[in-house]
Amino acid sequence: MNKRPIVLAIVFMLTAKVFAAAPQLNGRAIMERNEDARRLSDVISNARLTSGGEGTQKRVKDFTWWRKLQEGTSLFNTLTRFKKPAEIKDEGILFLEREGNKNEILMYLPSFKKTRRVESQQQSSAFMGSQLSYSDMATPHAADYQHQLLRTESCGEGEENRGVTCYVVESIPVSDEVRERTGYSAVTAWIRSDNFMMVRSDYKNLKGELFKRMEATDIRVVDSANKKWMAHTLSVKNLKTGHFTSLSFEKVKANQGIQNSIFTIQNLERP
Amino acid sequence: MLLEVKGLKKVFTRGEESVEALRGVSLSVERGEFISIMGPSGSGKSTLLHLIGGLDRPSAGSISISGQSIETFTDQNLSVFRRRKLGFIFQFFNLLPTLSALENVALPLLLDGQSLGQVQPKAKELLERIGMGKRIHHLPDQLSGGEMQRVAIARALVTDPLLILADEPTGNLDSKTGATVLQILSELSTEKSNTILMVTHDAKAASFGKRVISLRDGQIEKDLPASQHHLTADVRRLREDDAGGF
Amino acid sequence: MRAVSNLFRFVGLRHILKKPARSLLTTLGVSFGIALFIAIRIINQSTLDSLRENIEAVAGKTSLSISSGDAGFPENKIEVIEKTPGVEHAVPMVFSRAFLVDAKLNNETLVILGVDLLKESSVRTYKTSDQQVIDDPLVFLNQPDSIILTHEFANQHKLGMDSRFSLATTEGKKTFTVRGLLSPEGPARAYGGAVALMDIDGARMTFGKEGKVDRVDVVVQKDLDLDEMIHRLESALGPGYQVERPQSQSAAMHRMVKSYQMMMSFFSTLALLVGLFLITNSVSISVMERKREIGSLRAIGAVRSGILAVFLAEAVAMGIVGGLLGAAMGRVLASFLVKGMSQSMSSQYLTRIEVSHLNFGIQDILLAIVLGGGAAFFAAAWPAYKSTRIEPLEAMKNRDVGVDVAKKGFLRFSGSVGLVMVLAVSVSATLGMNQKHRVIEFLGQLLAILGSALLGPSLVMGLVRMIRPLALPLGGAVSRLAQDNLIRNPRRTASNVTSLMVGLILVIVVAAVNTSFRTTIDLWFGRVLHSDLIISSSGQLIAFQTQPLHESLAEEIVKVPGIQTKTEGAHVYGVYGVRFGHTPYEGKQLAIKAYDEPDPSYKYWILDVRDRDRVEAGGELFHSQEPVVMVSRNFVDHYDKKTGDSIELDSPTGRHAFRIVGVMEDFASDVGVLYLNRRQYREIWKDPLVNSFGVQLASGYTQEQVRANIDQRLGRTRNLVVTSNSELRKEMNDLVDRSFRNTRAIQAAALLVGLLGLLNTMLISVMERMREIGMLRAIGMSRRQISAMIIQETLFQGALGAATAVLLGSWLSYIWITYSLSNILGWIIDFYFPWGSIFSTVLIGILVALVASFFPARRAAGLEIAEALEYE
């Protein structure tokens, strides 16, 4: 009997299974799929930002969040209105993404009844006293980076991620401008191979040191018609100082048909 | 002729008054002579010595040493002349208090630009010759009057001078020490052919010289060998009789 | 060459080493003078460096800064600046001074920078360890009471994150919360760490600068020509705005402190000259002492130039050692003086000036050496020259030390030369020649000291001759002998006294300057300060270092019981506000005082008008429709303007012409002071703030009552302070005194030098007279009597020195104060004779003499008779 075909068949079956488990994709493609999975046309949500860690007080901020995709682009407008604590009640931050990354960030201070502009230099600095920066709050764009698939591995042992394979992609900013704006020299992301949502990111600062880690949990579908997902909890930890920030969303409503007028200075100044 | 003085005059002015210290003195000195210059105070003997030694300038007359007319010298030249050609011995020793005996002796040559190292051997030898070999590093205030004068003599000799000028060299010494010093001077003249001019008011001291010139009122009164000069003749005889010497 | 070095080595050096005490005395004298000179130099230089560093620390990456006087300019101009082509970033700043109020933090100034924290990083970097400077920006920015302190300041005052503390503001006392901490880098380095950051809007609200900005820092695009940018910005903004490089700001600061520094340098140069004088004296004495030695050297063949070289070399050697010592001493002295000096300058210039570190380097040491050696060379020149005149015949003489057989006419000659010099200095000062050049001014000082030194002995001789017939009958035998000694030898007495005299002259000059300043200002103040009580916020009122208050406060003050009011038509007189500020004029800063109109029945007594009728001038100042101004006397001196002329001033509302309606006296600035009426000032500068309010007591009320009333009604909530007329006057005097406190060091140095000089000469004097003393002892004078004789001689000489110093010192002070100092300092000060100081100076002179007499007296008394008689 000729054994060769059986061997071939077995080999074929085995390899087919491997291939079936993870479709062949490169880094860029993966990240583009990720961006797509997050691209909600609009969303309103309540949110809670908790910051703490050794040597700092635990601070909790509650706010409402509006976000809308600008017509025909992948750029978002975001309005954040704070509700608690009392010191920051009615403060608002309007984030208008612009092409070429000339984002406009405006802050409304109710004590002065004035709107202030945040300079672009500041965008890599901490947002709201958290471990997130302004540019983190902006939706990262795949086009800003060069991506490379490093490997695939298990997404983790947590309940949510058990049994799921993750792509591990390393992203490096394409230009100095992106580096400056984001404050990162490299980002390594774990992307779920099933829904292309990020479950974990490791960030390296401009010195090349690994300093920040973000974990996304409670990832749910928020727009089933368009297959859009959102992580309901983001946890960020500063690996150097041990400080952490946790951002959790609830009552997330997508596709509400938010008006463009929400994202104007006039509206910003009317809490 | 080593020294020739012609018609030397010196007038001192003090305010309104003028005093003629020398009124025309002429003399000549050969090499190797030991001359005592005597006279009462005010006779001009010190003035004569000062003029010959270039320490002061004459009002008139000439002074020729080894053919050079020093009365025409500039101050600079006189200083150099004194340094190289003359040797001085003073009544009050005039050693520099901060220098050792050796350094004092070396001083004229140091002034001439030689280094201590170069001069030291000669200075040392001179000091030994006059019996100061064990005291060469002593400072003047550690020496007796006689010792100081001996150092002064060595200093006067260090440049091999043409002429040694001594102004009352024993004036500040007791008679025994004084005699020793005069003996040294005498030997320098007889054995080494040094020419010595000594001013003194003391007949005993003057008798050590071979020739005595006495001055009175600014002029030479007598110029005779010591054995014939009235001031010294007796003293010399007395000394010669006392064969043991002083 | 070898000959000279031999001479130096065997004669000069030996001599220095043989007389270590004497050499040391001389060297010390030089080093004191140099120490002071170097100390002042170090402090001056370090102050300038600190000022520059302050400015650089705050400037960061700024290319250009835009400002408009003290009152700031409108916020909307920021947009104009931003839109000017070439501007990359325009970052606004509000700049304030606040005062700590809490009991434990009494009266400390905090410089507050109100910045747009969202824009700052383009210009300045703030850091704090590893964290963010601000913990929570959302909270920080929204709370007007948020403040960021430096770690240093916070630690000093035991404050930490979220601590609360109070500051005095225009709105009264306010509490702030620390919401950020800074490391001492960049701007946090400035002002010795007493700097705080607030968000600009919070600062505006707190300090009454809503809608305004004090400064805009601009970062210009790379490779653009800065001068071109300055031009563009000036055109875009219009008149009234200064656009300058950060370096010009430090240049401005330098100019500001220049006059104080120059005054200190003036004094220290004088002290140095006095020190040099000691060398001249010392070398002269040395020459005299060593006549026989010099004669001997000449006799055995040293040339004149060799002798000259010996004495010069000795002097230079001591000068160099003195210089080195002086450099070290100067460095130490600087650390002692710096605090006082910077405090003086801070009071004078209304800016906190702190010297963060003293710069002392190799260049200062080299300077000290060159100064010491070089000056010693010149100081020794004359006596060294005299040494070459010594004839070989001196060797013959048995006098141990020569009495100076200087020809009789010589003293007359030198006295005349001295007189000519002093007159020359007087004439040139009167003609104002000194201000032309630093070098001429220095030469003037030199001539004055030299002239005094030459003239002094003749004066003393004259005094001694005058005293002769009077003194002889006085006192017992010992006194008579003492007096005889001095009178018999007027020349020796005169030269003994000279160094003490020169030192005392300096003491008198310094005292005269102090007294003249104090009296001039005190009298002026008495003329113009008429309010019974002055109300302000806390701080140093006399230096206008208080938080300005809003003018509307006057309406509340006028209601306080006990305040005299008068109603004339619609106008209520009673509370008079004064606004103090600065405005730029021809590259410098003029002081402005804007006054509310006082009750006319007081005939404008606040105005010390000098060139016309005060009532007329005052009427014009307060009632003229067109802009008018009064100018100070020193303004007229500097800018050559007079009443009737017009000057142009820049303001936020543009350039305006002001007609001069009178010339008055005011000392608020060394550049010039302008008086305006506050109505016009407010209109033109758009500034409603006031630094202080003056009030009169109503009849029947006492000061205490009204103070209590004011405190009760207003004081507590607003942290107001009430100062009385006499208290304010005292504050003014204290301020002037503080400014001059450091001149004590100069006086001390001068006295030390004088003491050393007198000690030196007395020792010589005793030595000179060994035989004489031996003879006195031989005939029966006891040791105690000898001692008493020497002491009396010295005391007498001290008195003579003091007397001559008073004469010459007063004359020189008059000349310098009236002419030179006014030019140097920028103020016109009237000369007032320092009577009190004169008495103390004479006393000190005598005391110094007493101290100086101790050692020589002991020496003289301790002599063995035989030794003295035989002394060679």
Judged by CB atoms closer than 8 Å, whether chains meet at B83 and C2 is answered as: no
Longest dimension (CA), chain C: 103
pLDDT given at position A16: 47
Task: Return the pLDDT at A71.
Answer: 86
CB contact under 8 A, B97 and C303: no
Set of chain C residues whose Cβ sits within 8 Å of the Cβ of A269? none
Q: Is omega for the bond preceding C473 within 30 degrees of 0, making it cis?
A: no
Q: What would the pLDDT profile of C61-109 be if each residue is shown by its tens digit?
A: 888 988 876 677 888 888 899 898 988 888 898 888 777 765 544 456 7
Which pair of tokens denotes residue B120?
A: 């030291």
- The residues spanned by each domain of chain B are 3-12+20-99+146-241
How much is the average pLDDT of C562-580? 84
Residues of chain B contacting residue C298, judged by C-beta atoms under 8 Å apart: 79
Query: Is the Cβ of C213 closer than 8 Å to some Cβ of chain A?
Result: no
Distance between B85 CA and the closest CA of chain C, angstroms = 10
Q: Using a CB-CB distance cutoff of 8 angstroms, which residues of chain C are in contact with residue B76? A: 303-304
A111 and C CB contact within 8 Å: yes
Contact C301 B116 (CB under 8 A): no
Report how far residue C287's alpha carbon sits from residue A233's, in angstroms, rounded to the nearest whole number: 98
Per the domain annotation, does A106 fall within a domain?
yes
User: Which of C5, C7, C10, C291 to probe the B interface (max B CBs under 10 A)?
Assistant: C10
**Separation CA C288–CA B191 (nearest Å):** 42
Domain CATH code at residue A175: 2.50.20.10
ipTM above 0.85, yes or no: no
Residue of chain C minimizing CA distance to A242: C131
Which H or E run includes C782?
A: none
Q: Which of A50, A121, A131 to mutate to test the interface with C (most CBs of C within 10 A)?
A: A121
What pLDDT, in 10s, does the model give residues C663-701? 998 887 778 899 999 999 999 988 888 888 988 888 888
Q: To 10 degrees, the CA torsion angle through C794, C798, C801, C802?
A: -170
Contact B56 C393 (CB under 8 A): yes
- Is residue C39 within 8 A of residue C330, CB to CB? The reply is yes
CA dist C331 to C121, C277, C321, Å? 39, 23, 16
- pLDDT per residue as tens digits for the range C821-869: 766 666 777 888 888 878 887 888 788 888 888 888 888 888 777 666 6
By CB atoms closer than 10 A (0-12, 13-18, 19+), residue C22 is buried
Walk along chain A (271 residues) and give the pLDDT tens digit of each residue.
555 665 555 555 554 444 444 557 888 899 999 888 888 888 999 999 888 887 777 889 999 989 998 888 888 899 999 998 898 899 998 988 887 667 888 989 998 888 988 876 566 666 555 666 666 666 778 888 999 999 999 988 888 888 889 999 999 999 888 887 788 899 999 999 888 999 999 999 888 899 889 999 998 888 888 888 888 999 989 888 888 889 999 999 988 889 999 999 999 998 8
Q: What is the mean pLDDT of residues C747-753?
A: 78
Of A51, A57, A109, the CB nearest to C142: A109
Q: What angle do CA C814, C817, C822 make, to 5 degrees?
A: 150
Residue C501 C-alpha, separation from nearest chain B C-alpha, in angstroms: 33
Which chains are adjacent to chain A, needing at least 3 Cβ pairs under 8 Å? C
Indicate the residue of A56, A122, A128 with minimum beta-carbon distance to C138: A128
For C371-381, what is each residue's pLDDT tens digit? 889 988 988 89
Asked if C142 is an interface residue toward chain A (Cβ–Cβ < 8 A), one would say yes
Residues of C whose CB is below 8 A from A112: 144, 201, 205
Question: Among partner residues A51, A107, A121, which is closest to C141 by beta-carbon distance?
Answer: A107
Q: Judge whether residue C401 has pLDDT over 50.
A: no
- pLDDT above 70 (res C433): no
CA distance B77 to chain C (A): 9
Inter-chain Cβ pairs, chain B and chain C, closer than 8 A: 95
Chains A and C physically touch (3 or more Cβ atom pairs below 8 Å)? yes
Label each residue of chain A as H, E or C: CCCHHHHHHHHHHHHHHHHHHCCCCCHHHHHHHHHHHHCCCEEEEEEEEEEECCCCCCEEEEEEEEEEECCCCCCEEEEEEEEECHHHCCCEEEEECCHHHCCEEEEEECCCCEEEECCHHHHHCECCCCCCEHHHHCCCCHHHEEEEEEEEEECCCCCCCCCCEEEEEEEEECCHHHHHHHCEEEEEEEEECCCCCEEEEEEEECCCCEEEEEEEEEEEEEECCCCEEEEEEEEEEECCCCCEEEEEEEEEEECCCCCHHHHCHHHHCCC
Write down the mean pLDDT value for chain C. 81
Q: What is the pLDDT of residues C333-367, one digit of tens each?
A: 888 888 777 777 766 665 666 777 788 889 889 99
Chain C contacts of A115, Cβ < 8 Å?
A: none
Phi, psi values for residue C856, rounded to 5°: -60, -40
Contact C10 B96 (CB under 8 A): yes
The domain in which residue A173 lies consists of: 23-268
Q: Residue C645 pLDDT > 50, yes or no?
A: yes
Of C121, C130, C205, the CB nearest to A122: C121
CB-nearest partner of A109 from C132, C134, C141: C141
What secondary structure letter does DSSP report for C492?
A: H
Q: Does the pLDDT of residue C871 top 50, yes or no?
A: no
Residue of chain C whose Cα is closest to the Cα of A105: C118
Nearest to B132 by CA among B88, B95, B162, B171: B95
- Chain B residue numbers touching C396 (CB-CB < 8 A): 46, 50, 55, 90-91, 167
Nearest residue on chain C to B94, alpha-carbon basis: C296
Name the residue in chain B with its Cα closest to that of C2: B113
A154 at C interface, C-beta within 8 A: no
Q: In total, how many domains does chain A have? A: 1
CA distances from C104 to B3, B88, B114 (A): 98, 85, 77
The nearest alpha carbon in chain A to C206 belongs to A112
In sequence order, what are the beta bridge partners of B9?
A: B23, B60
What is the helix (H) or strand (E) element at residue B93, kind and residue range? none
CA distance C136 to chain A (A): 4
Report the C-alpha gap between C348 and C734 in whole angstroms: 12
Q: What's the CATH architecture for B3-12+20-99+146-241? A: 3-Layer(aba) Sandwich (3.40)
Chain C environment of A241 (Cβ under 8 Å): 130-131
Q: Does C171 touch chain A (CB under 8 A)?
A: no
The SS3 assignment for C196 reads: strand
Report residue C872's pLDDT band, with 50, 70 and 90 as the boundaries: very low
Domain map (residue ranges) of chain C: 1-56+254-402, 64-244, 456-529+732-872, 539-718
pLDDT of residue A47: 92
CA distance to A101, C81, C264, C843, C864, per residue, from C801 (Å): 84, 68, 26, 11, 31
- Decide the pairing of beta strands C566-568 and C673-677: unpaired
Contacts of B74 in chain C (CB under 8 A): none
Residue A96 pairs with which residues in a beta bridge?
Answer: A77, A104
pLDDT-wise least confident of B48-62, C318-332, C518-532: C518-532
**Residue C25: per-residue pLDDT:** 78
Residue of chain C whose Cα is closest to the Cα of B158: C300
Nearest CA in chain C to A55: C131
Residues of chain C positioned with their CB less than 8 A from the CB of B50: 393, 396
- Chains in touch with C (3+ beta-carbon pairs under 8 Å) read A, B
- Chain C residue with minimal CA distance to B90? C396
Q: List A residues 216-255 in contact with C (Cβ-Cβ < 8 A).
A: 240-241
Give pLDDT, residue B6.
Answer: 93
* Interface of chain B toward chain C, CB-CB under 8 angstroms: 46, 50, 53, 55-56, 75-76, 79-84, 88, 90-92, 94-99, 103, 107-108, 110-116, 155, 167
| Chain B adjacent subunits, 3+ CB pairs under 8 A | C
Is 90 exceeded by the pLDDT of residue C626? yes
8 A C-beta contact, residue C107 and residue C122: no
In A, minimum Cα distance to C90 occurs at: A119
DSSP C402: -
User: Mutating which of C82, C88, C128, C136 best tests the A interface, going by the most A Cβ atoms within 10 A?
Assistant: C136
- Asked if B75 and C304 come within 8 Å (Cβ–Cβ), the reply is yes
Q: Do chains B and A touch (3 or more CB pairs under 8 A)?
A: no
Q: What's the average model confidence in pLDDT over C221-225?
A: 85
**Beta carbons of C118 and A112 less than 8 Å apart:** no
**Residue C332 burial (CB < 10 Å; 0-12/13-18/19+)?**
exposed
Tokens of C24: 């040391």
What is the distance in angstroms between the Cα of B242 and the nearest Cα belonging to chain C?
Answer: 35
Q: In chain C, pLDDT over 70 holds for what percent of residues?
A: 87
Q: Per residue in C576-598, is it b (16+ CB within 10 Å) or e — as a string?
A: bbbbbbbbbbeebbbbbbbbbbb
- Rounded CA gap, C596 and C594, in Å? 7
| Residue in chain C nearest A120 by alpha carbon | C119
pLDDT at C123 over 80: no
pLDDT value at residue C111: 82
- Of the candidates B79, B84, B167, the beta carbon closest to that of C396 is on B167
Q: Which residues of chain B have pLDDT under 50?
A: 245-246
